[in-house]
Amino acid sequence: LPDHLAFWALSLGVCAGACGTMNGSLSGPLAASCIDAANRQETEASRHPLLTFQGYLRYGMPISYLLLLTSTIYITLLFLLGK
């Protein structure tokens, strides 16, 4: 496996894996903190729903799978085209 393909495989794999769970990257805990802070400032009638780990997985895993599929196609094309 050429070095540049290993680089792309590693970087795209980390990016896709980080989207899968709330603790996988900085954006997950940051989103949870922002929702929690907004809930503390608002009244009971206008509260946002809580962001749970399972709720995050419901959206994060399909996006992660889509990124992995796209990355696989991209790396395969790079390998077949020899760049």
Question: Residue 53's closest CA among 80, 82, 69, 31?
Answer: 31
Mean pLDDT of 23-34: 80
Residues 6+ apart with CB under 8 A from 31: 22, 51, 56
Tens of pLDDT, residue by residue over 35-65, are 777 777 766 666 666 777 888 888 888 988 9
Residues 6+ apart with CB under 8 A from 8: 71, 74, 75, 78
Percent of the chain with pLDDT over 70: 88
Specify the DSSP class assigned to residue 65: H
Q: What is the mean pLDDT of the chain?
A: 81
Amino acid residing at 54: Q
What local confidence, expressed as pLDDT, does residue 31 receive?
Answer: 78
What local confidence, expressed as pLDDT, does residue 73 receive?
Answer: 93
Give yes or no for residue 25 having a pLDDT over 90. Answer: no
